[in-house]
């Protein structure tokens, strides 16, 4: 491609939202181009957690990119909640009529989608620079960028901004158009990758007086663990010995359970916030995924909300091209936000139930423990947690 080219849908960002949208559009016979500032190896090598809702797994399977997922993912009946040294199992599969928790890292989803798009001859441009959006409120929006030292320009019918939480697409929208809703949490997560066998057959969410901890699995030999920390702390302050001592304390159980330890291969501190911008559309630019909303990781909703967004957008674009029906495009933002706010509510609830804040009083701690006791003894409360965690039904 040299000079000015043309396509139906221009997609900014080759994360899970952008790649999945391009894949869904391809299956519907709709042309697209994906532009990404990072190189392919950087996109595929960014290690992030991945707990997939049943609906996300079903969508990947039904669209032909679930083969490796079903071979390599960990499928769990539910999760463990641990507090006061006691462990309580939430059997989500039984509570939701067969839906499961699937642990499959986000970068593995990206690898599967990249492979599928390139195998189908998809136009995915990695390593571009100076990406800009033009004429978003016209009938002929465009994406301009530099590639290999040459200027490129692609005219589109529509543009999808799927370029993450620091979204250039979102910042291209004029001031005053978007409303931003935000909550910054006074704690973060210290995450580690550990070369060790699994410590548990399912995820463990632990609430402790010293703060939250989480045990997850990445592979038979690589585990991911987290502990609550000051978001302004430094990785340099945490030796391996200090990390393991803190994890043992926060994960302590009356039955003597201890995490499997091993060499720590990665350390990272992640801040926690909840963000929603609305509307998720300006002219012919549509925002999806982290470009429009960010959730704390406690509720495992980030990738899943992104997948739900592009499912709605792909169906809306399909209706436009097949029937010239713009109704779904017109209500794209409202349809997505209905699910997003439910995901935000659940993520906020899980976060505040499991974490300690410095401002918490003894009342807050007792209330928190009462909430955990209720959630683990009431079938109605367990069902509510389970159906939100495995994913609410899609609105079709």
* CA–CA gap between residue 130 and residue 121 (Å, rounded): 25
Residues with catalytic annotation? 76, 205, 297, 301, 389
Residue found under tokens 């500032």: 37
> For the chain, what is the radius of gyration of the CA atoms?
22
* CA–CA gap between residue 226 and residue 212 (Å, rounded): 8
* CA–CA gap between residue 251 and residue 356 (Å, rounded): 15
No. of helices (H) and no. of strands (E), the chain? 13, 21
Task: Confirm if 372 and 83 have CB atoms less than 8 A apart.
Answer: yes
Return the closest-CA partner of residue 107 out of 155, 49, 178, 163.
Answer: 49
292: number of Cβ within 10 Å: 30
- Coil vs helix vs strand at 129: strand
Task: Confirm if 129 and 271 have CB atoms less than 8 A apart.
Answer: no
Residue found under tokens 């839906």: 99
User: Helix crossing, 106-119 with 16-27: angle to 10°?
Assistant: 40
């Amino acid at each position: 491609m040299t000079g000015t080219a043309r396509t139906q849908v221009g997609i900014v960002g080759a994360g899970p939202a952008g790649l999945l949208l391009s894949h869904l559009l391809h299956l519907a016979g709709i042309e697209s181009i994906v532009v990404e500032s990072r190189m392919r190896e950087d996109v595929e090598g960014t290690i992030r957690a991945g707990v997939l809702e049943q609906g996300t797994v079903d969508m990947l399977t039904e669209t032909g990119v679930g083969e490796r997922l079903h071979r390599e993912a960990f499928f769990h009946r539910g999760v463990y909640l641990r507090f006061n040294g006691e462990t309580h199992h939430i059997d989500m599969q039984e509570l939701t009529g067969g839906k499961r928790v699937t642990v499959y890292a986000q970068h593995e989803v990206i690898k599967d989608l990249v492979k599928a798009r390139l195998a189908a001859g998809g136009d995915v441009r990695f390593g571009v620079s100076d990406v800009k959006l033009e004429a978003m409120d016209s009938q002929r929006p465009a994406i301009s960028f530099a590639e290999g030292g040459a200027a490129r320009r692609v005219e589109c019918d529509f543009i999808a901004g799927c370029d993450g939480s620091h979204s250039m697409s979102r910042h291209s929208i004029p001031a005053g158009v978007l409303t931003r809703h935000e909550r910054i949490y006074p704690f973060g997560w210290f995450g580690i990758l550990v070369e060790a066998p699994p410590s548990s057959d399912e995820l463990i969410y632990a609430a402790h007086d010293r703060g939250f901890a989480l045990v997850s699995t990445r592979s038979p030999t690589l585990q991911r663990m987290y502990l609550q920390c000051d978001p302004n702390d430094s990785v340099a302050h945490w030796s391996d010995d200090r990390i393991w001592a803190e994890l043992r304390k926060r994960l302590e159980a009356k039955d003597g359970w201890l995490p499997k330890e091993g060499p720590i291969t990665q350390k990272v501190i992640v801040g926690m916030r909840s963000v929603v911008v609305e509307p998720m559309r300006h002219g012919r630019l549509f925002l999806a995924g982290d470009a429009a909303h960010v959730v704390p990781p406690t509720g495992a909703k980030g990738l899943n909300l992104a997948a739900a967004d592009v499912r709605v957008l792909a169906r809306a674009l399909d209706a436009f091209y097949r029937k010239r029906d713009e109704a779904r495009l017109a209500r794209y933002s409202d349809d997505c936000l209905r699910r997003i706010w439910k995901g935000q509510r659940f993520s906020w609830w899980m976060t505040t139930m499991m974490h300690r804040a410095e401002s918490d009083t003894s009342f807050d701690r007792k209330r928190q423990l009462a909430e955990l006791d209720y959630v683990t003894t009431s079938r109605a409360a367990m069902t509510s947690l389970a159906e939100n965690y495995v994913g609410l039904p899609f609105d079709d």
